Every structure is written in structure tokens, then in C-alpha cells.
Chains A and B, each alone.
Chain A
């Protein structure tokens, strides 16, 4: 028996030896690459990970064009590593956990979480690099944007400057508003829309959904108009009293919202399948969603909304003023990997992305003449069949440097900039909740929410019977612990401010 074991072990060990031998070779290569870094701007290759809706077919051509510019300016080539939004989180987690080499990665608060990965030590601290390599970058964005990006007083990612505000309100099909002569000035609160919903319900065919809702509910996009700010999906503060975090589902506002939704649902204003509806865009694209509630009514957004609504004109009816919080700023950023071998060059590249119009528009729209044609100096026409339509300028850099796409209102950029600067700023700007101490509670809460929220938030079930049960289950899941942890972290954050 002993002999048998010995033989097996010998086999395993020799296999291991072979494998480590291979690994050793790779390490030496890496060392050699590091060694050649000392001269004045030697050529380097940077790897940049970012997500898009779909991976463009003709990414290779664009990469070539981008490299032409970067080669000349910073003697670096960039490998564009695009993933889809759905894959990005999983993919980047694996890359970081395995220690794979990359230089720059896109990061946000809604996909591949900024805070979580910073606390894992995935990112390089950038303050010094910004000072040295990209002094202009600081001035290209307002101070509060930088404040929002800071974690414990340090910057770990560069925000892509775009619309950094939120403004809640209704998106209404213009043809119905005209038909029933909707007085938009009469709508101050979300329940004020009810008479209009009634008119639509009575006057339009059954295909038209008076108020579109889906399984995520609408409460999470109307915090601000309810006088609340959410700090994660379950805990928030009152705007009047930003020091005291509380359970959002225990607020009178939530109860009120549920009562209204239940009322609307029983009256038939809400689509019946709301509690199970995952992709409401299938309904929106028919133009039959008469009234929707959105949290991001940005300047010029009506045009994008028109395309999404099957080409039907829509009007915006905002209920709030523009509001900026940490959560609205850190939705799109670039971070540099802790393992990057060329952080200086990576910083230079991010700087170019935010300041160099040529480079930025190449990555946004592709190659002139192939992927787009110029209509005038600053206006272009996108060629949709050429295989490069990322249609997501906000992923790449400072969106105010982008060309206008034909049909876009040139005033929109100025309006957006103005709104950014004049927006009401959250008292908690820069605060981010680190959920590591309460991971188990967060997971339990997520299960409870999955179970109750879709039915409750869409009015499918009666809140008088279900809300209490929901709140009790949340308590059992440990929501109070999360609230307490939030309060603790806010206190600690104030000390460092």
C-alpha cells in the first residue's frame, strides 16, 4: 500500500514540477519587460477594459486609429478590451482575483463596484499621478465631482464627466397629452397625474398602458421627489435630515407610494404583468406606454426617449430640480490597476481621453469616412452598418468633448454643463457605504426584496396585508444592523472630511 501511494505522489509531484516550470518562464518574461522601462518614454502597451452594450464588430480598425494617435502623443499603444455590460462584473472579478495584467479599467457604482474593488486593493491611488501627468484634468471638472470620487480622501478613479445630476419626473406621450389637454403645470406631486391616467384608461384602446411599471417598481426612482436620498437600495436619509440613516421601507413615503400604486392597479392604470415584467422596453418601443416615471430627465433627453418610444414624441414633466449626489457622479469612471506596470502612461492616456478631442471622438464614433461622416465641423452622421456604433460616449471620457450627432440640439451640452454646476449638491457628497461588514445581511435582505417588492411596488397585492409582513421579514433579515452600520460609517466619514 505504501508503495502505491508513493507512486501516485511521484506522479503528482512530477506533474506539478512541469507546471511550475512553465510558470517560471512566464515570470521571467515579465521581469524582462519591467527592466526596459527606465528610458525616456519607451514604447509600451496598455490594456484597457471597458463594457458596452454589444462588442463592436470593427473594434480592430478603431484600435488601430486610436493607437496612431497615442503612439504619436505618448508613445503607447492601447489594447481595447471590450465586454458587454452583463459580462463585465464577472469578467473583471476573475481578472482581478487571478492577478491578470491590465492597466486601465472602467468602474462604476452600478456595475463592477468601485468601492468594493477599491477595498480589495484593486486600484492605484491617483492623486500624485494626476498632479504629475495630468494637471489640466483637475480643472476640467467641478470640485464636487472629484469629491464624489474620493474614498477616504483619496482619488482612485477618474470620473467620465457627463451629466452628473438627477431630475425626477414623468415621461408622457405627447399625442395623449395634446389630446386630453394635459396641464403640465398642475402636476407637482406624482399622484397629481391620476386624472390624466383616468382619461387615457377610458379614452384609449386596451393596448395603451396608462402608467407603465415593471418588477423593479418605481419607488426607487422617486426618492428625491419624496424628500429622500438613498444610500444603498434599502437605507437612505431624509434630505432635511441627512445625518440619520433609516430603513426606506419603513418610511411614510413608501406606504403612501404603495397605497397610490394599489389604487392605480385596481383601477387598471398599471399594466397587469408589471410584477413579472423584466424588460419593459418591449412595451416602451411600441409607443404604448402613455406615462412613465423616470429619475433622469436630462437636457435633450426627449430626443433619446423618442427613439426608445418607437419614434413617438414625448414630453418631460419634471417634478424636482437637478440634484447631484455621490451616486449620480460615480456612475462611470476609469481606474488604474494596482498591478499596472506603466501607471504613468496609463494616466497620460486617461488624460488624453478627457482632453484630446481627436482621440476621444475616435473611440466614441470610430474612423471618419468609415464609421461616420462629417456634416459640418462639429456635427457628424453615424454610419450604422459599418460595425462600430458603441453609442455610449459616457463610457470613454469627458462627454463634453464629443462631436454632436446629426439631429442633436447643440444647446444641450451647455444646458447640461449649466445644470451640473447649478444642481443642488447632496450633503453627503463623497460618502460611500462599504457593505463588507454586513454582507450576510445584505444578501438576506436581497432575497426578501426579491420575494415581496415586485408584487408590492407594482400594486399587484394589497399593502395593508403585505407591507407589514415585508417589513417584519426585512427586520429578521437584519436591516437594522445595516442601518446602524450606515450611521457609524457616516460619522466616521464626517471625521475625514
Chain B
């Protein structure tokens, strides 16, 4: 055979071999991730199942993936006085929406500024942002800052402001925006567009996957937060959903660990039953479980585009 034909032949053999090999490896990888996702999903299904199980059967025969005795009592108990829950829901939704929109706007503004190659102080500003991921003032100065200087205690802003700018998200966003060609921006300038116009009309649409990804992160952060509420909120009408849930869970645990040898009497029957606690968890996690798959399309492309493009 001529040398070139041999080479082609060899290549064909190799590639068919390769594809067999990759089939195997992809099968193994698939199996691995199947197992992994089952590990993630089962506890979630358990929580849902517990929330629909009759309390007595639950305590006597333990957890099952399929409720042994189906009961809606836990949910009816929660919805009997839905005022508190709905109020908490409202607060969480409000905080998440405002926080995500404003947070995303500020994050992209900051990231855009420090990604512009014609900005003279971009290195020092990037360092400044990066620095805060390594060092922070600590809890007490943070508390003093929010309560005594910004006077945000017991306002809805205490739940929003601290998470508006996350340095890590800024850096991820900057990494993405670095890929936006300077020429595009310059061409906009030549056509007479203002800086704001370039930002909104050219840069933001180009960074849509990153915006959705970071937006999702930010909204998760707001949705799942109970920490800020714990620190800064005393007004019962401003309690977010997760804090409500967290308080019930942590108080039960704290008391059952600490109260047994202390001569004070705490009525442990006043706490919601196990199924009611799980029902609350389902209600708290529910909306995010619906939002996430809807945005997943962007989420995946956001992650890959950021690393491959350019």
C-alpha cells in the first residue's frame, strides 16, 4: 500500500477503536452520574413522601419512599392559618426579585467596567474586588456597619443590600465579558452610541448566558437565605420563609440537645410534627425546583460558553 493509504487506514482503525473506547467510557460516566443523581434525588423524594405520610405511621414504622398511609394533614395544618406562611413567602419573593434584578445590574456594571481594556485602573480595581474574597471584616464589624451606620436594622433592605455585590460573581462575569471583542464596542462608539447604550444594547445581549447563570446564583442566594434575617430582623412581618423554617428546625434540635439536664420545662409537643416540618420544607423549596429546570438551558450554555468561546 502507498504510504498515504496506510496512514488513512490506520487512522480509520484508530478512530473506530477510539469510538468503541469512548462508548465504554461514556457509559461508565453515565452510570456514575446516574448513581450520583439518584443519591441526590432520593432524600428529596423522601422529604416529599414524609410530608404526605400520616404522622403516627411515620413515627412507628419510619420513612418510606412511598407513603405507607397517605395523609394531607400536614398541609392542611399549615394552610389552616396561612397568613404567616404567605407573608413569609411574600417577603422572600420580594427580596429575591428586587435582589436579583438590582444585584445582577450592579454586578454586570462592575464586571463590565473592570473588563474594559481601555480602563486605566482595571487591574487595581480587579485586585480590590478580588481582595474582598480573601479577607472580610468579620461578623461584628459587619453587624455594626449595617445597624449603626447604614441604619438598616428591621427594614427589608437589610435582607437585600448585603448580597447585592458578590465579588466572586463579579469575577466570573468579568471573565465572561473579557471575551467580548473590543472592536464591537469601538464600532458602537464610531456609530455614536453613548456608553450606556453600548452597555445595554451591545454588551448585555452578548453576555446573556452569563447573566442568566449569575442571576440564578444570586436568586438562589436570596431565596435560601436565613442568615441576614436572623441577624437583622426582629419585626415578625419581615421574616423570610427560610428563616421561619430554620427557626423551627434549629430550636427543636437545640432544645433536645440542651434541655434534658436543665430544670426548666419546655413543652416539646408545641412544635410542628415531623410531617408538618417536611411539608414546610417542600413548600419552601418548591418554587425553586420549578424555576431551575426552566433556566437550565441557559445555565448549561452559560457554563460552557464561558470556557470554550474565544
Contact present for B121 and A331 (CB under 8 Å): no
Contact present for B263 and A100 (CB under 8 Å): no
Contact present for B253 and A308 (CB under 8 Å): no
Contact present for A110 and B84 (CB under 8 Å): no
Contact present for A308 and B269 (CB under 8 Å): yes
Contact present for A98 and B144 (CB under 8 Å): yes
Contact present for A166 and B263 (CB under 8 Å): yes
Within 8 Å CB of B231, what residues of A? 91, 94
Q: Mark B117-152, 1 if CB is under 8 A from A, else 0.
A: 000110010001000000000011001100111110
CB distance from B123 to the nearest CB of A (A): 9
Residue A177 at the chain B interface, CB threshold 8 Å? no
Residue A192 at the chain B interface, CB threshold 8 Å? no
Contact present for A54 and B149 (CB under 8 Å): no
Residue B37 at the chain A interface, CB threshold 8 Å? no
Known: A23-B148, A53-B271, A98-B140. A85 touches B236 (CB 8 A): no
The interface centre, meaning the residue of A283, A294, A301, A331 with most chain B CB atoms within 10 A of its CB, is A331
Contact present for B264 and A94 (CB under 8 Å): no
Question: Per a CB cutoff under 8 Å, which of B59, B124, B148, B247 touches A4?
Answer: B124
Question: Per a CB cutoff under 8 Å, which of B84, B248, B265, B269 touches A285?
Answer: B269
Within 8 Å CB of A391, what residues of B? 266-267, 270
Known: A91-B230, A94-B143, A286-B60. A307 touches B267 (CB 8 A): yes
Contact present for B140 and A84 (CB under 8 Å): no
Known: A4-B121, A280-B256, A286-B56. A86 touches B250 (CB 8 A): yes
Interface residues of B in 64-115 (CB under 8 A from A): 81, 84
Question: Per a CB cutoff under 8 Å, which of B60, B143, B253, B255 touches A98?
Answer: B143
Contact present for A97 and B140 (CB under 8 Å): yes
Residue A326 at the chain B interface, CB threshold 8 Å? no
Question: Which residue of chain A is the closest to B263 with respect to CB atoms?
Answer: A296
Contact present for B84 and A57 (CB under 8 Å): yes
Residue B254 at the chain A interface, CB threshold 8 Å? yes
Tell me the bound Cα distance from A26 to B264 in angstroms: 40
Within 8 Å CB of A166, what residues of B? 263
Contact present for A286 and B270 (CB under 8 Å): no
Question: Per a CB cutoff under 8 Å, which of A7, A295, A308 touches B261?
Answer: A295
Tell me the bound Cα distance from A243 to B238 in angstroms: 53
Within 8 Å CB of B281, what residues of A? none
Residue A164 at the chain B interface, CB threshold 8 Å? yes
Interface residues of A in 275-311 (CB under 8 A from B): 278-286, 288, 294-296, 298, 301, 304, 307-308
Total interface residues in chain B, CB < 8 Å: 47
Residue A163 at the chain B interface, CB threshold 8 Å? yes
Within 8 Å CB of B3, what residues of A? none
Q: Mark B275-289, 1 if CB is under 8 A from A, else 0.
A: 000000000000000
Question: Which residue of chain A is the closest to B121 with respect to CB atoms?
Answer: A4
CB distance from B211 to the nearest CB of A (A): 28
Q: Mark B204-247, 1 if CB is under 8 A from A, else 0.
A: 00000000000000000000000000110010100000000001
Within 8 Å CB of A163, what residues of B? 263
Q: Mark A15-34, 1 if CB is under 8 A from B, else 0.
A: 00001001100100000000
Known: A86-B250, A394-B265. A59 touches B236 (CB 8 A): yes
* Number of cross-chain contacts by CB at 8 Å: 144
Interface residues of B in 22-39 (CB under 8 A from A): none
Residue A216 at the chain B interface, CB threshold 8 Å? yes
CB distance from B109 to the nearest CB of A (A): 16
Question: Which residue of chain A is the closest to B120 with respect to CB atoms?
Answer: A4
Within 8 Å CB of B148, what residues of A? 23, 26, 98, 100
Interface residues of A in 96-117 (CB under 8 A from B): 97-100, 108, 110-111
Within 8 Å CB of B236, what residues of A? 55, 57, 59
Contact present for B256 and A281 (CB under 8 Å): yes
Contact present for A8 and B260 (CB under 8 Å): no
Question: Which residue of chain B is the closest to A394 with respect to CB atoms?
Answer: B264
Tell me the bound Cα distance from A294 to B120 in angstroms: 71
Tell me the bound Cα distance from A420 to B278 in angstroms: 42
Residue B5 at the chain A interface, CB threshold 8 Å? no
Known: A22-B149, A283-B59, A307-B269. A53 touches B260 (CB 8 A): no
Interface residues of B in 41-72 (CB under 8 A from A): 56, 59-60
Tell me the bound Cα distance from A31 to B157 in angstroms: 27
Contact present for A53 and B253 (CB under 8 Å): no
Contact present for B258 and A7 (CB under 8 Å): no
Contact present for A8 and B265 (CB under 8 Å): no
Tell me the bound Cα distance from A359 to B152 in angstroms: 32
Question: Which residue of chain A is the closest to B125 with respect to CB atoms?
Answer: A8
Contact present for A87 and B250 (CB under 8 Å): yes
Q: Mark B282-310, 1 if CB is under 8 A from A, else 0.
A: 00000000000000000000000000000
Contact present for B261 and A221 (CB under 8 Å): yes
Residue A70 at the chain B interface, CB threshold 8 Å? no
Question: Which residue of chain A is the closest to B127 with respect to CB atoms?
Answer: A8
Within 8 Å CB of A94, what residues of B? 139-140, 143, 231
Residue B155 at the chain A interface, CB threshold 8 Å? no
Tell me the bound Cα distance from A477 to B121 in angstroms: 51
Residue A392 at the chain B interface, CB threshold 8 Å? yes
Known: A7-B121, A279-B256, A286-B59. A84 touches B264 (CB 8 A): no
Within 8 Å CB of A220, what residues of B? 260-261
Within 8 Å CB of B269, what residues of A? 281, 285, 307-308
Contact present for A8 and B264 (CB under 8 Å): no
Within 8 Å CB of B271, what residues of A? 53-54
Residue B4 at the chain A interface, CB threshold 8 Å? no
Question: Which residue of chain B is the closest to A22 with respect to CB atoms?
Answer: B149
Interface residues of A in 209-229 (CB under 8 A from B): 214, 216, 220-221
CB distance from A388 to the nearest CB of B (A): 12
Contact present for A278 and B147 (CB under 8 Å): no
Known: A53-B267, A57-B236, A391-B267. A278 touches B261 (CB 8 A): no
Within 8 Å CB of A331, what residues of B? 262-264
- The 26 sampled A-B contact pairs (Cβ below 8 Å) are A8-B128, A26-B151, A53-B255, A54-B247, A54-B248, A55-B247, A57-B236, A59-B236, A85-B254, A86-B250, A86-B253, A87-B251, A94-B140, A99-B144, A110-B258, A162-B264, A220-B261, A279-B252, A281-B268, A281-B269, A286-B56, A295-B261, A295-B263, A304-B267, A308-B269, A385-B81
User: Can you name 19 extra interface pairs (CB under 8 A) apart from A279-B252, A304-B267, A392-B265?
Assistant: A26-B151, A53-B251, A53-B266, A53-B270, A53-B271, A86-B251, A86-B253, A87-B230, A98-B144, A98-B148, A165-B263, A216-B257, A295-B261, A296-B263, A301-B265, A304-B265, A307-B269, A391-B266, A391-B270
Closest 4 CB pairs of A and B: A86-B250, A86-B254, A296-B263, A281-B268
